[in-house]
Amino acid sequence: MTVALRAAGPLDAGQVGAILHRVNSLTDWLPDLYSGAETIGYCGTMIDRGWVTVAERAGRVIGFLARDGAEICALYLHPDHSGQGIGKMLLDRAKSQSDRLWLWVFQANTGARRFYAREGFVETDRSDGARNDETLPDLQMTWRKETAQ
């Protein structure tokens, strides 16, 4: 079945928030900081700011990417839809709209780090976690169009 990418609308906040909350609750090394309702509210704010692109299949949101200018703030897929190239589709859309992208990823998130490295992102900085709510060590990764070619 086909996956369509589109800008998120206000009515997508529930599905987007549910994906983010589910992934976070299934990740054993992440602290449980926010309720489902708080997560939906946060996603609604990103949607209201125009940051969110959703991946949709059969009328259901199955993943999303939130981008504030060059910063990728979030890229999440419903666990049942990972490994199908949907994250790459979302990231390729963001790459087509920018010459440079950057993000922070938790050091413990080895799968995401491998994914971003495969997609041309390189480590550009490290942090001890003092700047994020989870207080987990993270690293910054950056992609530049001219170096990816």
**pLDDT single digits (tens) 39-63:** 999 999 999 999 999 999 999 999 9
Q: Which helix (H) or strand (E) holds 114?
A: helix 110-118
Cβ neighbours, 10 Å, residue 35? 10
**Residue 139: which pLDDT band, with cuts at 50, 70 and 90?**
very high
| pTM of structure | 0.94
**Residue 15: which pLDDT band, with cuts at 50, 70 and 90?**
very high
Query: What are the start-end ranges of the H helices in the chain?
Result: 13-26, 36-48, 86-96, 110-118, 145-148
16: Cβ contacts below 8 Å, ≥ 6 apart = 8, 40, 43, 46, 47, 52, 54, 61, 64
Residue 11 phi, psi dihedral angles, 5° rounding:
-75, -5
Compute CA distances 59 → 2, 83, 129, whole Å: 10, 20, 37
**Per-residue confidence (pLDDT) for residue 147, from 0 to 100:** 63
Percentage, residues of the chain above pLDDT 70:
98
- Domain 4-148: CATH superfamily is Gcn5-related N-acetyltransferase (GNAT) (3.40.630.30)
Which tops the pLDDT comparison, 146 or 136?
A: 136
The span from the CA of 65 to the CA of 7, in Å, is 10
User: Above 60 in pLDDT, residue 25?
Assistant: yes
Q: Residue ranges of the domains in the chain? A: 4-148
Compute CA distances 126 → 71, 104, 132, whole Å: 16, 9, 12
